[in-house]
Amino acid sequence: MSSSSVALVVFALALVFATLSHQCHGGEVPLQVGYYRGKCPLADVEAIVGGVVKAWYKRDPTIPAALLRMQFHDCFVNLFSFNFFFLVFKGCDASILLDGSSSEKTSVPNLSVRGYEIIDAAKSAVETICPGEVSCADIIVMATRDAVALGGGGWYIVQTGRRDGTVSLAKNVDLPSPSISVSDSIKAFAKKGLDATDMVYLLGGHTVGITHCSFILDRLYNFQNTGKPDPTMDSSLLAALRQRCPQNASVDSSVNLDQNPLSSMTVDNSYYRKIAMNKGILKIDQELALDPLSNSTVSAIANGFDFSTKFGQAMIKLGGVDVLTGKQGEIRSSCRAINKPSK
Ligand X SMILES: *[C@@H]1O[C@H](CO)[C@@H](O)[C@H](O)[C@H]1NC(C)=O
Query: Annotated catalytic sites, by residue?
Result: 73
Which candidate, 172, 141, 174, places its Cα nearest to that of 158? 141
Q: Which is nearer to ligand HEM, 182 or 238 (CB)?
A: 182
Which candidate, 144, 136, 97, 135, places its Cα nearest to that of 116? 97
Distance in Å, CB of 258 to ligand HEM, minimum: 10
- Residue 313 binding result from ligand HEM, ligand X, none, given CB thresholds of 5 to 8 Å by partner type: none
Q: Which is nearer to ligand X, 109 or 176 (CB)?
A: 109
DSSP state of 330: B
Q: Residues 128, 247, 309, 339: which binds ligand X (CB under 6 A)?
A: 247
Distance in Å, CB of 24 to ligand X, minimum: 35
> How many CB atoms neighbour CB 56 within 10 A?
22
Region from 45-53, 81-89, 108-116, 174-182 binding ligand X, contact rule CB under 6 A: 108-116
Binding site residues, ligand HEM, CB under 6 A: 65-66, 68-69, 72, 112, 114, 176, 178, 180, 185, 202-203, 205-206, 208-212, 215, 282, 284
C-alpha dihedral, 188 to 84 to 103 to 143, nearest 10°: 60
Q: Which is nearer to ligand HEM, 65 or 338 (CB)?
A: 65
SS3 83: strand
Q: Positive or negative CA dihedral for 101, 57, 324, 172?
A: negative
Q: Which is nearer to ligand HEM, 90 or 206 (CB)?
A: 206
- Residue 105 binding result from ligand HEM, ligand X, none, given CB thresholds of 5 to 8 Å by partner type: ligand X
Region from 55-63, 111-119, 131-139, 141-149 binding ligand X, contact rule CB under 6 A: 111-119
- Residue 267 binding result from ligand X, ligand HEM, none, given CB thresholds of 5 to 8 Å by partner type: none
Distance in Å, CB of 295 to ligand X, minimum: 4
CA pair distance 26, 329, nearest whole angstrom? 12
Distance of CA 211 to the CA centre of its chain: 15
Q: Residues 248, 250, 327, 343: which binds ligand X (CB under 6 A)?
A: 248
Distance in Å, CB of 45 to ligand X, minimum: 25
Whether residue 210 contacts residue 254, with contact meaning beta carbons closer than 8 Å, is answered with yes
CA pair distance 96, 48, nearest whole angstrom? 22
- Residue 208 binding result from ligand HEM, ligand X, none, given CB thresholds of 5 to 8 Å by partner type: ligand HEM
Distance of CA 225 to the CA centre of its chain: 30
CA pair distance 97, 104, nearest whole angstrom? 8
- Residue 82 binding result from ligand X, ligand HEM, none, given CB thresholds of 5 to 8 Å by partner type: none
Q: Which is nearer to ligand X, 41 or 227 (CB)?
A: 227
- Residues 273-312 close enough to bind ligand X by CB under 6 A: 292, 295-296, 299
Q: Which is nearer to ligand HEM, 36 or 215 (CB)?
A: 215
DSSP state of 333: S
- Residue 205 binding result from ligand X, ligand HEM, none, given CB thresholds of 5 to 8 Å by partner type: ligand HEM
Which candidate, 33, 337, 72, places its Cα nearest to that of 161? 33
Q: Which is nearer to ligand HEM, 45 or 148 (CB)?
A: 148
Whether residue 119 contacts residue 143, with contact meaning beta carbons closer than 8 Å, is answered with yes
Distance in Å, CB of 81 to ligand X, minimum: 20
Whether residue 188 contacts residue 302, with contact meaning beta carbons closer than 8 Å, is answered with no
DSSP string spanning 162-192? -BB-S---GGG--PPPTT--HHHHHHHHHTT
Positions in the binding site for ligand X (CB under 6 A): 105-106, 111, 114, 116, 247-248, 292, 295-296, 299
